[in-house]
A and B are shown apart, each in its own frame.
Chain A
Amino acid sequence: MKLVAILLLAVAPLAAASAATPTDADPVAAARAVQLANELRCLVCQNQSIAESNAELAVDLRRQIREQIAAGRSDDEIVDFMVSRYGDFVLYRPPFKATTLLLWIGPLLLVLAGFWTLARALRARRQAQAPPPLTPEERARAERLLGAREEP
């Protein structure tokens, strides 16, 4: 019984995905439509792509993508169509530009800051592990021993 439930749970996402599959006769166009829909965010349920979402808007936008593919538009043209209406927010891969600079290089800056901190901590530890300075008696003894050896 448990096994059946687990199997059902495993199959559920597949059933949901099939809702996004266009019914075009042309399999190449259908694959393009699904690929495009996977790259675009649904604004109604913001953590789902247009392909995953069952919101009405996502259904409409999938239809829009299929129609534009049928009309011979390129992928870039279709993406531009969406961006000009809904903004960069619809792109799961936002463009690299001034307003998204921090988004793109932020992680890199964090990693660099991490390495810098690590380097500082390691250096501090190495200094801490250096042998403690000699006491005057020890120094005198060391000098005596060394001096004794260096004398001709």
Chain B
Amino acid sequence: MNRFLIPLGIFVALAAFLFVGLSLNPREVPSPLVGKPAPAFRLTQLHAPEKQFGRDDMLGQVWLLNVWASWCAPCRDELPVLGELARTRTVPLVGFNYKDKPEEAKALLKAFGDPYLVSVSDPDGRVGIDYGVYGVPETFVIDRRGVIRQKHIGPVTHAVLEKKILPLVRELQQP
């Protein structure tokens, strides 16, 4: 009896591990920044290069930091979704234009609609490194005290918004 049960058991366990492994996305690396204060930055505003904007300007409110670039195709897919979110005025969106040319970034926002309260430029990607950005788009949920509570890698879809991002935002917005 054991002669068959033991190899069968090993096979089933291996198959289960491989099956779970197949459904995991190796590109989604958990960020060590979740639960830590968002790195401080002061960057030039995309639409007003003479002005700067920083993390501390958002202290006191729950907000989303959306890392994007005009050279990133999935970012175009998420712009309409973010536009809809912006119209509901649920949560302020800050655009983080990563390693991009300001003219191209502005042209894309003009064409697809600008969902951001304010956009900052990180042309050489230095602040991006502080945020552990390794692929655009990425979206951070940051709480009132400036702590990163969630990081979403990849485009924000309606499903991601409803199931992952908005429930946390609502929870954080509770007084």
Contact = CB atoms under 8 A, between A and B. Distances in A.
Interface of B: 26-27, 29-33, 99, 124-126, 129-135
Contacts of A43: 29, 134-135
A87 B29 contact: yes
Interface stretch (A4-12, A16-24, A78-86, A132-140): A78-86
A44 B32 contact: no
Interface stretch (A32-40, A55-63, A69-77, A141-149): A55-63
Task: State the majority secondary structure of interface residues on B.
Answer: loop
Interface residues of A, number: 15
A54 interface: no
Given A44-B134, A44-B135, A46-B26, A60 B129 contact: yes
A60 B134 contact: no
Contact of A57 (B30, B31, B130, B134): B134
Contact of B29 (A56, A57, A86): A86
Contacts of A44: 134-135
A89 interface: yes
Contacts of A89: 29-30
B153 to A, nearest CB: 10
B17 to A, nearest CB: 11
Given A43-B135, A56-B99, A60-B125, A85 B130 contact: yes
Given A85-B33, A86-B134, A87-B31, A64 B26 contact: no
